[in-house]
Amino acid sequence: GENVEQHPSTLSVQEGDSAVIKCTYSDSASNYFPWYKQELGKRPQLIIDIRSNVGEKKDQRIAVTLNKTAKHFSLHITETQPEDSAVYFCAASIRGATNKLIFGTGTLLAVQP
Amino acid sequence: SAVISQKPSRDICQRGTSLTIQCQVDSQVTMMFWYRQQPGQSLTLIATANQGSEATYESGFVIDKFPISRPNLTFSTLTVSNMSPEDSSIYLCSGVGQANTGELFFGEGSRLTVL
A41-59: pLDDT as tens digits: 999 999 999 998 889 999 9
Hey, CA dihedral for A82, A83, A84, A89, is it positive or negative? positive
Nearest by CB: A106 against B31, B42, B102: B42
Q: What mean pLDDT comes out for the span B62-90?
A: 96
- In whole angstroms, give the CA distance from residue B111 to residue B105: 18
Q: What mean pLDDT comes out for the span A74-79?
A: 98
Q: What mean pLDDT comes out for the span A71-98?
A: 93
Nearest by CB: B43 against A51, A89, A93: A89
Residue-level pLDDT at B30: 81
Q: What mean pLDDT comes out for the span B32-51?
A: 94
pLDDT at residue A99 greater than cutoff 90 = no
Based on the number of CB atoms within 10 Å of its own CB, is A90 exposed (0-12), middle (13-18) or buried (19 or more)?
buried
Q: Which residues contact B82 (CB under 8 A, 6 or more apart)?
A: B16, B17, B18, B65
Amino acid at B20: T
pLDDT at residue B102 greater than cutoff 80 = no
Residue-level pLDDT at B100: 63
Amino acid at B103: E
Task: Give chain B's mean pLDDT.
Answer: 93
Tell whether B1 is within 8 A of chain A (Cβ). no
Residue-level pLDDT at B17: 97
- Percent pLDDT > 70 in chain A is 99
Confidence of residue A1 (pLDDT cuts 50, 70, 90): confident
- In whole angstroms, give the CA distance from residue A18 to residue B78: 40
Q: CB of A60 within 8 A of CB of A41? A: no
pLDDT at residue B22 greater than cutoff 90 = yes
Residue-level pLDDT at B97: 76
Helix (H, G, I), strand (E, B) or coil at A18: coil
pLDDT at residue B49 greater than cutoff 70 = yes
Task: Give chain A's mean pLDDT.
Answer: 94
Could B33 and A100 be called an inter-chain contact, meaning their C-beta atoms sit closer than 8 Å?
yes
Residue-level pLDDT at B29: 79
Residue-level pLDDT at A98: 73
pLDDT at residue B99 greater than cutoff 70 = no
Could B106 and A44 be called an inter-chain contact, meaning their C-beta atoms sit closer than 8 Å?
yes
Tell whether B38 is within 8 A of chain A (Cβ). no
Strand residue runs (E) in chain B: 4-7, 10-13, 19-25, 29-37, 43-49, 56-57, 68-72, 75-80, 89-97, 104-106, 110-114
- In whole angstroms, give the CA distance from residue B78 to residue B49: 9
- In whole angstroms, give the CA distance from residue B91 to residue B45: 10
Distances (CA, A) of A57 to A64, A68, A101, B10, B17: 5, 14, 19, 37, 47
